[in-house]
Structure 1
Amino acid sequence: MKIEPSPSLPALVTPTPWEALKNFTDARIALGRAGVSLPTAAHLAFQLAHAQARDAVHLPFDALGIEASLRDLGLPTLRLHSQALERAMYLQRPNLGRRLDAASLQTLARWQNQPGTAKAFDVAFVLVDGLSPLAIHQNAVPLVSLMLQRLQADTTQTWTVAPLAVVAQGRVAIGDEVGAALRANCVVVLIGERPGLSSPDSMGLYLTWAPQVGTTDAARNCISNVRPAGFAVEAAAQTLHRLLSQARQGQRTGVGLKDDVDQQLVNTEVANPETNRPARWLLGATVPDGKR
């Protein structure tokens, strides 16, 4: 028997007036309230999101699977490891995640000594599990594939690409050591970002010109939140290609390199929840239809 709520009783959950904005973001907004507390559904969703974030951090990194997928792109691959022996050490000793272990250094040295190895490369891509192996599993190979297509199709300049490196238990700075060993002018680190409560699969891209051990974060450019529900892989590849070209032209990254694309208006139109009409977003504010 189905029990219908009595129309004479007040609703248990009080909604918020900006409920429609939930259609445009995964952020935890417009949760409503039940009395002075969160509704049960919102509380359970929070617990689930927290569990998913923890799972993303501790998910085993499928380096072999990533390496196999990268081979289909037509470039050699190198499987490397940081000095952090296992996950607990990686989380407790961030410094160990920034340097390669002895076996990885030997792998790089053997590759460099092979006959016919190029003396230098324009760019090296380094795929690192970081704090979310899930992000690399889902987003890294599609991003690299799109980037290789863009670099090959670039009619303004030619690009030489180093072997694709896959690093387990790594931090952002480990790309500096890999890039320097491969003699790459620029290194791009694809790394799993610290999971948020709505983004366990978020990947970050870190671009560094003239990578060397000891390079600080001030010398890097970052493209963050690369994932289907965030910054789409296609858009991230376009931005990364543009930044790579600018870095190559100016011989620098970091605070000396800013993306010069016009960000005043985002071309994608969204529905205005108040009028149900299209509106453009201008630095966080809507532009009325009649004033575009």
Structure 2
Amino acid sequence: MSKQLSNKNYLQTDPWENLRSLSKARIALGNSGGSLPTAAVLHFQEDHAFTKDAIYSDLKEKQLLEQLKEFQLPVYQFQTKISDRKEYLKRPDLGKKLAENSEAEKGNYDILFILTDGLAADAINERAIPLLQEILPKLSEYKIGLCLVKYGRVAIGDEIAEKIGSKFTAILIGERPGLSSPKSLGVYTTFHPKPGTTDERRNCISNIHENGLSVEKASELLQYFINESFRRKLSGVKLKAGNDHHLEE
């Protein structure tokens, strides 16, 4: 009896443990008696802390602006009606509107690439420039502008496109952080953007991070959406890409 009881204190592995090599999901954690192993609990707490830090991370505006200027394209800078990170989390509606004093000259671009912090600014700080370095050389036939926006949501691109003038927007934004992906970048594309555009008229490329979609693959898919949007004069649910990037009706 005593031997049987003492066995409950041993760390018990999970028969699915080999699946952990295929995913960052919290599977096959094992158990110690009726509880999770201490290492798994501590790992969860660590990832939760990284996630909280991601939400409160800030854009490295000065650094990003210098990097954007290296592309030798027009660069704009805006801020939304949000004043700080706490307000950003509480008032998503204000993250969709530019501050009252926002001014910009008309540019009449084919494409505006708009970088904004979203819910994980470090995703922009670390991955937005590499993605632009990958995609911009492939778009020489388009007139392109670049834009950096603090405290923005996806829909901020619609107002910016109307103010500056652009046929197409690609919003690079920090996605809602997950426990295994606190620095995930997303890209939302819209053809003929304007205030009031609803989400079914956008295409999304998500989970661009070190354990997800690579910058190279994201660039390939983004180029597909750009070229097809201009060819068909639309974006959103009517424009889809399968694994081979062929159009699906």
2:128 equivalent in structure 1: 140
Checking the alignment, whether the CA contact within 8 Å between 1:180 and 1:210 is kept in structure 2 is no
1:269 equivalent in structure 2: none
Q: Secondary structure at the match of 1:208?
A: strand
Q: Does 1:45 align with 2:53?
A: no
Aligned partners of 1:92, 1:144: CA distance in 2, in Å? 30
Moved more, 77-86 or 175-184: 175-184
- The root-mean-square deviation of aligned C-alpha atoms, in Å, is 1.6
Structure 1 residue 12 displacement after superposition: 2.2
1:227 equivalent in structure 2: 209
Aligned partners of 2:30, 2:193: CA distance in 1, in Å? 48
Stretches of structure 1 lacking an aligned partner (at least 5 in a row): 1-8, 113-117, 153-157, 265-292
2:3 equivalent in structure 1: none
1:63 equivalent in structure 2: 61
Structure 1 residue 23 displacement after superposition: 1.7
Checking the alignment, whether the CA contact within 8 Å between 1:179 and 1:211 is kept in structure 2 is yes
Aligned partners of 2:238, 2:186: CA distance in 1, in Å? 20
Q: Secondary structure at the match of 2:128?
A: helix
Q: Does 1:122 align with 2:105?
A: no
How much identity, in percent, do the aligned residues show? 40
| Residue identity in the other structure for 1:133 | A
Structure 1 residue 103 displacement after superposition: 2.5
Aligned partners of 1:133, 1:243: CA distance in 2, in Å? 24
Q: Does 1:213 align with 2:201?
A: no
What TM-score do you get using the length of structure 1 for normalisation?
0.79
Tell me the matched-pair count.
240
Stretches of structure 2 lacking an aligned partner (at least 5 in a row): 1-5
1:166 equivalent in structure 2: 148
| Residue identity in the other structure for 1:149 | P
| Residue identity in the other structure for 2:142 | W
Aligned partners of 2:35, 2:237: CA distance in 1, in Å? 44
Q: Secondary structure at the match of 2:118?
A: coil
Checking the alignment, whether the CA contact within 8 Å between 1:63 and 1:79 is kept in structure 2 is no
Aligned partners of 1:129, 1:165: CA distance in 2, in Å? 12
**1:1-292 correspondence runs (5 A):** 10=7, 12-104=10-102, 106=103, 108=104, 111-112=105-106, 118=107, 120-152=108-140, 158-162=141-145, 164-262=146-244
Aligned partners of 2:115, 2:126: CA distance in 1, in Å? 12
| Residue identity in the other structure for 2:118 | G
For residues 121-153 of structure 1, the C-alpha deviation after alignment (integer angstroms, 9 at most, x for no partner) is 21110001000001101110111111101213x
Structure 1 residue 60 displacement after superposition: 2.0
| Residue identity in the other structure for 1:140 | A
Q: Secondary structure at the match of 2:168?
A: strand
For residues 168-220 of structure 1, the C-alpha deviation after alignment (integer angstroms, 9 at most, x for no partner) is 01111001111222211110000000100011000110001111011111110
CA shift in 2, pair 1:239/1:263, >3 Å: closer
What TM-score do you get using the length of structure 2 for normalisation?
0.92
1:283 equivalent in structure 2: none
Q: Which structure: larger Rg?
A: 1
| Residue identity in the other structure for 2:28 | A
Checking the alignment, whether the CA contact within 8 Å between 1:53 and 1:197 is kept in structure 2 is yes
Structure 1 residue 227 displacement after superposition: 1.1
Structure 1 residue 263 displacement after superposition: 7.3
Checking the alignment, whether the CA contact within 8 Å between 2:54 and 2:119 is kept in structure 1 is yes
Q: Secondary structure at the match of 2:123?
A: helix
